[in-house]
Amino acid sequence: MCSAKNKSVSKGFIPPPIPDNEALRLKDLESLKILDTDAEERFDRITALIADVFDAPIVLLSLVDRDRQWFKSIHGLNVPETSREVSFCGHAIFEPETMVVEDAHDDPRFCLNPLVTGEPNIRFYAGAVIRGPSGLPVGTCCLIDRKPRKLTDRDRKRLVIFAKLLESELLQSVKLTRLQQETVMSAYFDPLTGLPNQRLFLDRLEQRLKIAGSLDSVTICVVNICRFSNVINAWGKDNANKALVVIGKRIKAAIKNKGTVARLSGDRFAVFTNRSKSARYERTPSHLRDPIPFELNDLFNQPVDVGGVELHLEANVGVTSYPHDGEDAASLLENAARCSKSVGACAHVQYYSQTLSDEASKAFAIEQRLRSAIANQSLHLHYQPIIDLKSGRLQSLEALLRWRDETLGNVSPADFIPVAEATGVIAEIGRWVVEEVCSQLVAWKRQYPGQLVPVTINLSTIQLMRSETAQEIESIVARAGVDSALIQLEVTESCFLKDFDSALCSMKKMLELGFKFLIDDFGTGFSSLSYLNKLPLHKLKLDRSFVSGIDHSDKCKALAKHIIALSQELGLIVVAEGVEDAAQARILTSMHCDQAQGYLYSRPLPPAEISQRFFED
Ligand code: C2E
Ligand code: CA
Ligand code: CA
């Protein structure tokens, strides 16, 4: 029988011991996020059913917390919790499955327990363990009676099943909460970089504008990585994504608490500044003094290391400022995004202005239409003759793209090539040009045998740097059965500025396949004569800016003369571009320039007119 003299019963009863893994157990319980929540019918229905099945006056879903047992569901009792010290469940959680106390008066652990000696006067207790997400015991489902009872084996098994039912209901709510959290995360955060997405950015910017007031200005920047589609094409989506993560981290580290960073979509990030500084008494608008756009731009000076591959990325930063450039978050962001799409140029900080916005709109329209230009058959090639200055005979033809769009009308290649490069469409357009030139050469060969001249094709930096380009051109030319000596490739100095070695390597690959190279627009860029020596070139095209000044500027004349002489010494054939009048042609001839191209001889013409004017039937 029960005796208070029992040595271990210092308080008159034995409090439950604390498990060794208590910290982890509490963490498991905590992760359920259920403590102190309201009663829920889904649990109460089960405890009521258990009470009915076992004919028990009290049934509890009890969770054993640090210092208490808290009841998520209570049937037949009016107490929300008790101290852990007096709890039966505190003992039960040490059992693998169940703990049964048939008569508390006979059990030295409980006979003097206040819950036994006083309300609710427990005599019988049967608790089945409930486990948390990591499998640690967090509580029990227990039956309590005010009179002693026995529990058959069958009932014990049934109680365990009920406990499992409650347990799965509890775990279900963890899954549900997690799901809810994930839903919130994906609605407001970019899954790749973990940065806020456009929606959250706009929301926060709207809040920021509300507190900005009239003396405060907010700078909004959109960072747009240039030609990112080429990175995807060249290095694959996984590496491209890794690069985006690195860039996101760089931006975040650079901005710290100076602003809010977000990833808008694809290759675009956005930042707005937190700094609030009075702009009223300063002469320069504060957004123009803000260093952040330039700091963002500088982040691209360092290559991005992606699994051992160094990617040299560039970005444009479009900038708007509140209240100058827009009243609400959406228009400020949209205008900054437009600025960041500035055509052609890269690695620029571009401030918003209406003119620029018009230009950007134009680029946007071009981008949209260009994608379908090939399918719509709205691209054509014109050919411009290159003439031998001594004999006046046709030497070669330059293929020049023409685009007549249904809505935009005629768009100059000077306008759409940069957009094609920026969007990656250039690869497809480039292939189309080679195919078109090949089929034209085949047609001319059939009609005018013996009169064929080489055709030069313009290759942009992007095309030259794409590793697939050489193979693509080679297979198109081979498929058409065209001699590769009839195709020559024009590249500009800018192709070699960024990464000389890769450009040279790519060039050599094509050279081995039998294609000759010309350097185009020479004199407009870096104009390094030492380049000429290093590059395996066939011809040099002297830019028309030299030619146009040749008859009135001594400087132009002197430069042109030396470039021609030096190039010829290096074994290059020199072509003067943009020759528009006879005086220019005369001077060039006197300088021993080899060939010329320009309106004096012919504008770029459709192939039929070339045949008519330059080939003999
Ligand atoms: P570019 O390679 O320097 O081509 C020569 C440009 O000068 C052509 O402009 C041509 O129409 C123009 N031109 C020719 N003779 C004269 C002249 O006597 N006076 C003047 N003022 N201009 C003359 P276009 O056709 O507008 O092409 C512009 C640029 O677009 C080209 O410059 C080239 O860089 C690019 N482009 C054209 N077609 C292609 C192409 O198929 N692929 C690539 N990647 N770029 C192309
Ligand atoms: Ca050219
Ligand atoms: Ca040129």
* Residue owning the nearest CA to atom 22 of ligand 1: 578
Ligand 1 mean position, distance from CA 615 (Å):
23
For ligand 1, is residue 412 a contact (CB within 6 Å)?
Answer: yes
- What pTM, to 2 d.p., does this model score? 0.54
Question: Predicted confidence band at 234 (pLDDT cuts at 50, 70, 90)?
Answer: confident
Q: What is the pLDDT of residue 484?
A: 96
The angle formed by the CA atoms of residues 34, 39 and 44, to the nearest 5 degrees, is 110
The two tokens of residue 303 are 């290559």
Q: What is the pLDDT of residue 270?
A: 97
* Residue owning the nearest CA to atom 42 of ligand 1: 458
Q: Which residues surround ligand 3, an ion (CB under 5 A)?
A: 520-521, 577
For ligand 1, is residue 90 a contact (CB within 6 Å)?
Answer: no
User: Across residues 379-384, what is the average pLDDT?
Assistant: 98
User: Across residues 233-242, what is the average pLDDT?
Assistant: 87
The two tokens of residue 588 are 């060039």
Q: Quick check: 126 and 151 in contact, CB under 8 A?
A: yes
For ligand 1, is residue 598 a contact (CB within 6 Å)?
Answer: yes
The two tokens of residue 170 are 């509890």
The two tokens of residue 542 are 């002297």
Ligand 3 mean position, distance from CA 313 (Å):
27
Q: What is the pLDDT of residue 555?
A: 85
Q: What is the pLDDT of residue 283?
A: 39
Statement: residue 9 has pLDDT above 70? no
In the chain, which residues fall in CATH 3.20.20.450? 379-407+424-615
Handedness of CA 105, 110, 115, 118 (dihedral sign): positive
How far apart, in Å, are the Cα atoms of 33 and each of 170, 326, 489, 533, 604?
Answer: 9, 44, 68, 73, 75
Tell me the pLDDT of the chain averaged across its residues: 89
> Which tens digits make up the pLDDT trace of 303-347?
898 878 788 888 999 999 888 888 899 999 998 998 888 655 676
In the chain, which residues fall in CATH 3.30.450.40? 4-184
Q: Please give the Cα distance from 321 to 383 (Å, whole number).
A: 47
From the CA of 542, which ligand is nearest? 3
For ligand 1, is residue 602 a contact (CB within 6 Å)?
Answer: no
Question: Predicted confidence band at 523 (pLDDT cuts at 50, 70, 90)?
Answer: confident
For ligand 1, is residue 433 a contact (CB within 6 Å)?
Answer: yes
* Residue owning the nearest CA to atom 27 of ligand 1: 413
Ligand 2 mean position, distance from CA 357 (Å):
30
Q: Quick check: 547 and 555 in contact, CB under 8 A?
A: no
Residue 105 gets which letter from DSSP? G
User: Across residues 19-35, what is the average pLDDT?
Assistant: 94
Q: What is the pLDDT of residue 342?
A: 61
User: Which regions of 85-131 does DSSP assign to beta strands (E)?
Assistant: 98-101, 124-131
Question: Predicted confidence band at 291 (pLDDT cuts at 50, 70, 90)?
Answer: confident
Q: What is the pLDDT of residue 364?
A: 75
Q: Please give the Cα distance from 497 to 464 (Å, whole number).
A: 12
User: Across residues 38-55, what is the average pLDDT?
Assistant: 93
For ligand 1, is residue 458 a contact (CB within 6 Å)?
Answer: yes
User: Which regions of 406-473 does DSSP assign to beta strands (E)?
Assistant: 409-411, 455-458
Q: Please give the Cα distance from 17 to 5 (Å, whole number).
A: 20
How far apart, in Å, are the Cα atoms of 523 and each of 289, 494, 529, 544, 552?
Answer: 36, 11, 10, 9, 18
Of the candidate ranges 190-199, 430-439, 517-526, the one whose mean pLDDT is the lowest: 517-526
Q: What is the pLDDT of residue 7?
A: 41
Amino acid, res. 501: D
For residues 529 and 596, the model is more confident at 596
Q: Which of 458, 519, 548, 600 to mutate to test the pocket of ligand 1 (most atoms within 8 A of CB)?
A: 458
* Residue owning the nearest CA to atom 21 of ligand 1: 578
| Ligand 1 atom closest to Cα of residue 413 | 30
Amino acid, res. 433: V
Of the candidate ranges 60-74, 299-313, 539-553, 567-581, the one whose mean pLDDT is the lowest: 299-313
User: Across residues 362-389, what is the average pLDDT?
Assistant: 90
For residues 371 and 487, the model is more confident at 487
Q: What is the pLDDT of residue 279?
A: 39
Ligand 1 mean position, distance from CA 400 (Å):
6
- % of the chain beyond a pLDDT of 70: 92
Q: What is the pLDDT of residue 479?
A: 97
> Which tens digits make up the pLDDT trace of 409-429?
899 998 899 888 888 899 999
For ligand 1, is residue 384 a contact (CB within 6 Å)?
Answer: yes
Statement: residue 99 has pLDDT above 70? yes
User: Across residues 64-77, what is the average pLDDT?
Assistant: 96
Q: What is the pLDDT of residue 252?
A: 94
Ligand 2 mean position, distance from CA 200 (Å):
47
From the CA of 386, which ligand is nearest? 1
Statement: residue 32 has pLDDT above 80? yes
User: Across residues 95-117, what is the average pLDDT?
Assistant: 96
> Which tens digits make up the pLDDT trace of 392-404?
999 999 999 999 9
164: three-class secondary structure by DSSP: helix
Ligand 2 mean position, distance from CA 384 (Å):
10
| Ligand 1 atom closest to Cα of residue 521 | 3
Statement: residue 368 has pLDDT above 90? no
Q: What is the pLDDT of residue 274?
A: 77
**CATH code, 4-184:** 3.30.450.40
The two tokens of residue 362 are 């134009």
Q: What is the pLDDT of residue 5?
A: 43
Tell me the backbone φ, ψ of residue 115, rounded to 5 degrees: -75, -15
Statement: residue 257 has pLDDT above 90? no
Statement: residue 4 has pLDDT above 80? no
For ligand 1, is residue 387 a contact (CB within 6 Å)?
Answer: no
| Ligand 1 atom closest to Cα of residue 417 | 45
In the chain, which residues fall in CATH 3.30.70.270? 198-353
| Ligand 1 atom closest to Cα of residue 490 | 2
- % of the chain beyond a pLDDT of 90: 65
Q: Which of 343, 366, 384, 400 to mutate to test the pocket of ligand 1 (most atoms within 8 A of CB)?
A: 400
**Which element (helix H / strand E) includes 494?**
helix 494-497
Ligand 1 mean position, distance from CA 604 (Å):
9
| Ligand 1 atom closest to Cα of residue 580 | 18
Other Cβ atoms less than 10 A from the Cβ of 56: the count is: 21
Burial class (CB in 10 A: 0-12, 13-18, 19+), 373: buried
How far apart, in Å, are the Cα atoms of 20 and each of 23, 27, 93, 94, 342?
Answer: 8, 13, 12, 11, 64
For residues 11 and 589, the model is more confident at 589
Q: What is the pLDDT of residue 357?
A: 62
Q: Please give the Cα distance from 142 to 50 (Å, whole number).
A: 9
From the CA of 401, which ligand is nearest? 1
Q: Quick check: 478 and 513 in contact, CB under 8 A?
A: no
> Which tens digits make up the pLDDT trace of 167-180?
999 998 778 777 77
Q: What is the pLDDT of residue 422?
A: 80
Torsion angle of C-alpha atoms 392, 394, 395, 396, degrees rounded to 10: 150
Q: What is the pLDDT of residue 514?
A: 95
Q: What is the pLDDT of residue 280?
A: 37
Q: What is the pLDDT of residue 231?
A: 83
The yes/no answer on whether domain 379-407+424-615 falls in CATH 3.20.20.450 is yes
Q: Please give the Cα distance from 504 to 400 (Å, whole number).
A: 24
CATH class of 198-353: alpha beta
Contacts of 553 (CB under 8 A, 6+ apart): none
Contacts of 614 (CB under 8 A, 6+ apart): 385, 394, 602
User: Across residues 135-148, what is the average pLDDT?
Assistant: 97
For ligand 1, is residue 401 a contact (CB within 6 Å)?
Answer: yes
| Ligand 1 atom closest to Cα of residue 420 | 44
User: Across residues 547-553, what is the average pLDDT?
Assistant: 90
Which residue stretches of 308-353 are H helix?
329-339
For ligand 1, is residue 414 a contact (CB within 6 Å)?
Answer: yes
Of the candidate ranges 36-50, 191-205, 273-287, the one whose mean pLDDT is the lowest: 273-287
Torsion angle of C-alpha atoms 343, 344, 350, 353, degrees rounded to 10: -40
> Which tens digits make up the pLDDT trace of 109-130?
999 999 999 999 999 999 999 9
Handedness of CA 394, 397, 398, 401 (dihedral sign): positive
Q: Please give the Cα distance from 198 to 188 (Å, whole number).
A: 8
Statement: residue 201 has pLDDT above 80? yes
| Ligand 1 atom closest to Cα of residue 401 | 38
For ligand 1, is residue 421 a contact (CB within 6 Å)?
Answer: no
**Which element (helix H / strand E) includes 168?**
helix 153-188
